[in-house]
Structure 1
């Protein structure tokens, strides 16, 4: 099962969410948290930092809470677990 991380980024009491491009072939137009796959050799915090910076150009200052995880099937039918 692949691992995925998602971040609830809060700054000045505002939450950052991203909208997928309408041209995406997977869930076009969906609003979601910054998230992405954990690469081989990365721990969850390293992956979280990398994904947030890749998707938003923002750096995480600190991780304060673990909100839980959920399992899902990708478009290709692969099992994934997302940690938030």
Structure 2
């Protein structure tokens, strides 16, 4: 959620649902993540290369940690993003 706060223009939507698996979705209306960089966004120290973005301080470890925690619980994390269209991260966690 902190990434959504840092990179949003005006809006963030957060939702939770699920009857069996827990589904958490965080969506912003920011600049989006270029398709060519989406594959590496969960790698340690990953930073987007676009110079037109706001200069937000970051070590590039947040999404790496989130992915590790989600996978440790047997879950998955996915992203849907497009340049200029914002980004949505969805986390799916099975019952523990």
TM-score where L is the length of structure 1: 0.29
TM-score where L is the length of structure 2: 0.27
Higher strand share: 1
